Structure 1
């Protein structure tokens, strides 16, 4: 017969006292301090004026003349048989849109205009204003009809454009060179017309602009147009 022995142990015994002394739990949980990094403020844009030599001028260079930003449209380095060499340029004023011809002495110093370019998407028109959005920050920029000018003829919702600013002011809007438009009104083509055939006719596209197109183009056709010249390029 197996005997059974019973032990009576009270909570005040030395075993419990020794265990509780070894496993001392804090009265409240410890909290590790969390380190928060300070928010980095956005840096204001610093406008710089860099000097360049007239010998470095090329098409597309932005220069500052008489306190205004200009874009070089054409240039020619001239070395006459007599006298000093010079650079003949054709410039367009970003602010006024005026185009002038100006010469610079070869090797002379010219201030480079700090023109800042940002990619924006034309989202919609609000009254007389055109709204452009930065797709990374969702920040909106609004331009008046006078700011957009004749480029409204080729501007479509969802089109990616470049906004150019100088000293915090928008000075120009760059459209894609090739824009795709839909023909909404045009005289019907003549039977037998081919893509290589001659002749043209006016066509109205979905932006309201009128483009001279080949005779074979019909209503509903998607066409490609050069936004710089307004000339028909091909069917899309």
Structure 2
């Protein structure tokens, strides 16, 4: 595995540190008046979700881990376990539903997701950046309400509440960002 210097860590890098696999969430470079510069790295453990703040000097060496990514299709959920199928080998794997966290409602039947593996261990599930959802409940469209930054609350068909522009009506399909839970555009 390649070793990188402490000042080369970027958000999204997966590192082997303290006998665990950690993903760098935030990286800040600090140059104090006295002493050498360092990178302040906020990391999240990929196996148990613990968070850690660590300082790395430029001369510190860190193991950078490359995860294998496979596209797999979501089949069904049973007993808080999600079943996915490899589209090439047709092998099925089960992963805990809490691996997706609050993005779980955006997982739809038949959706293709990217699962990251470290050896044979599945560590992360990435949803598509944008998904199409139907608005099931929102305030009616008011004519003449064209203020630039006015948004109204809406409930989607998966139960998630988001803010939408005033021209979006009930039973309309919209595209939503799965990372930020924000309205993107009409479908």
> CA deviation digits over 1:102-159, x for unaligned, max 9?
1111121112234222111223334532222211122222222223322212111232
Structure 1 position 56, deviation (Å): 2.2
Q: Which residue of 2 aligns with 1:33?
A: none
Q: Which portions of structure 1, spanning 4 or more consecutive aligned residues, are displaced by more than 4 angstroms?
A: none
CA contact under 8 A between 1:128 and 1:145: conserved in structure 2?
A: yes
Structure 1 residues 75 and 156, CA, compared in 2 at 3 Å: closer, same or farther?
Answer: same
> CA deviation digits over 1:53-77, x for unaligned, max 9?
2132112111011111111122233
Q: Which residue of 1 aligns with 2:181?
A: 230
- Could you tell me the TM-score, scaled by structure 2's length? 0.87
- 2 CA distance for matches of 1:233 and 1:135? 29
- 1 CA distance for matches of 2:93 and 2:100? 12
Q: Which residue of 1 aligns with 2:153?
A: 202
Structure 1 position 166, deviation (Å): 2.5
Q: Please, what is the CA RMSD of the aligned residues? A: 2.1
Q: Which residue of 1 aligns with 2:166?
A: 215
- 2 CA distance for matches of 1:165 and 1:234? 32
Corresponding residue pairs, total: 187
Is residue 168 from structure 1 mapped to residue 120 from structure 2 by the alignment?
yes
Higher Cα Rg: structure 1 or 2?
A: 1
CA contact under 8 A between 1:155 and 1:207: conserved in structure 2?
A: no
> CA deviation digits over 1:153-189, x for unaligned, max 9?
2111232211122342222111122222111222322
* Aligned with residue 55 of structure 2, among 91, 99, 103: 103
Higher relative contact order (CA 8 A, sep 6+): 2
CA contact under 8 A between 2:13 and 2:23: conserved in structure 1?
A: yes
CA contact under 8 A between 1:118 and 1:164: conserved in structure 2?
A: yes
* Aligned with residue 155 of structure 1, among 71, 87, 107: 107
CA contact under 8 A between 2:7 and 2:56: conserved in structure 1?
A: no
CA contact under 8 A between 1:187 and 1:203: conserved in structure 2?
A: yes
Is residue 115 from structure 1 mapped to residue 70 from structure 2 by the alignment?
no
